[in-house]
Amino acid sequence: MKTAALICIFLSASAHAAPERSNDEIKRGVADAVRRYANAIACPGVKVRPDDVLALTPFEDDYRRLSRYAVLWTGDMGCNGGSGIVASHVAIATINNGKYVVDPRQSSPVVEFEAPVRVVKRVVSYTDETLILQGNVHGPQDTQNNPTVPVRFTLKVDEKGNWKMLEKRVLPLGTIGG
């Protein structure tokens, strides 16, 4: 009788287990969710690739409710009702009940993304609460849409979910990804 009870408990527990997901499958799912979110709040045509997905807290069977992914996307937020400026923004996605979901309370435009550049060109590195990024700022002779001075900057997420700049440094001209 004890054996039958243990078998029933095991079968019911395994019936509710989440299916295994590969890292590539997760990145594709997160990228698709962020692409749909970005195109809903910005001008159509925002592209998000699986390579754009940063696993802040990766999906693991024991901790699947804690998974968090950051995706930097570039577009004109608000489109006709917006500023008319194409810029980089952040979206935070999770996996909830097997579905890929963007959390708008932790994503642009609700949270601040304090990048000194209009468009992020490169992710240098990241942790669950910091992003080290590169892009270009305007030099004294630059035109409005062609910043040429490469910078590297660090953003850290605060207790409200805002990405605040900790430091910024100018890189040598011609730096790759700047």
User: For 27-47, what is each residue's pLDDT tens digit?
Assistant: 999 999 999 999 999 999 999
The residue among 96, 111, 126 that closes a domain is: 111
Give how far Cα 129 sits from Cα of 29, 53, 91, 153, Å: 22, 15, 14, 14
Half-sphere exposure of 120 (CA within 13 A, CB side): 23
90, 72 Cβ separation under 8 angstroms: yes
Query: Is residue 46 a part of any domain in this protein?
Result: yes
3-state secondary structure of 118: coil
The residue-averaged pLDDT of 98-126 equals: 96
User: Beta strand 149-157 with 163-170: parallel, antiparallel or unpaired?
Assistant: antiparallel
pTM value > 0.85: no
pLDDT-wise least confident of 3-7, 99-103, 130-134: 3-7
Q: How confident is the model at residue 71 (pLDDT cuts 50, 70, 90)?
A: very high
Query: Based on the domain organization, do 78 and 137 belong to the same domain?
Result: no
Domain count, the chain: 2
Query: Based on the domain organization, do 47 and 57 belong to the same domain?
Result: yes
Query: Based on the domain organization, do 153 and 164 belong to the same domain?
Result: yes
